[in-house]
Structure 1
């Protein structure tokens, strides 16, 4: 019997209803989204605290990475609390509703690995 592929994303639920999701793309880049009504209640932190060790267990990557709009200070703080560190910035990296937006890049080394950039 073939072994099922490891999960690439998870659904964040509250009282049986989906309120967000977290996942990863190739190369260990993670992302997440949470419905605005559930912001600042610890759901993203709880989900990522479980998902990050799982990802290190299934992915052969030296680090996980994330890209965030620096104006999204809550996400920058959340990722920093989880151990991610800023590795760089890009100015006017993408357009959102015809408005140029910057990006900040963060990295979380595999536990026990060197913290090089």
Structure 2
């Protein structure tokens, strides 16, 4: 099967700066509280893929909206959802886990070293 494809390129998980940037990118259109620390989020999200971070951001952004829904105020145009806080991201992290197991990542790295192409 390997001979069918000319190259297989291994894409590692995002590093620290890339994770911080991912959080910023996936929330740039949202109202984020000024105290949200992108550096802290990058630290605690090691092992997350770019897609995992995107899903985590989506979950965090929905938390203030869900609060309005629970309060029955979602359809009230005079009430605006609060800004997303660091607590929303931490709660979202409890729901959204890394999709790549460390042992799977190691297996792919080993394969890339043996057969992959750079």
The bucket for the TM-score relative to the shorter chain is: under 0.3
Structure with greater helix percent: 2
Which of structures 1 and 2 has the larger relative contact order (alpha carbons within 8 angstroms, sep 6+)? 2
Query: What is the TM-score when the length of structure 2 is the normalising length?
Result: 0.24
Structure with greater strand percent: 1
Q: Which has the larger radius of gyration?
A: 2
Query: What is the TM-score when the length of structure 1 is the normalising length?
Result: 0.24
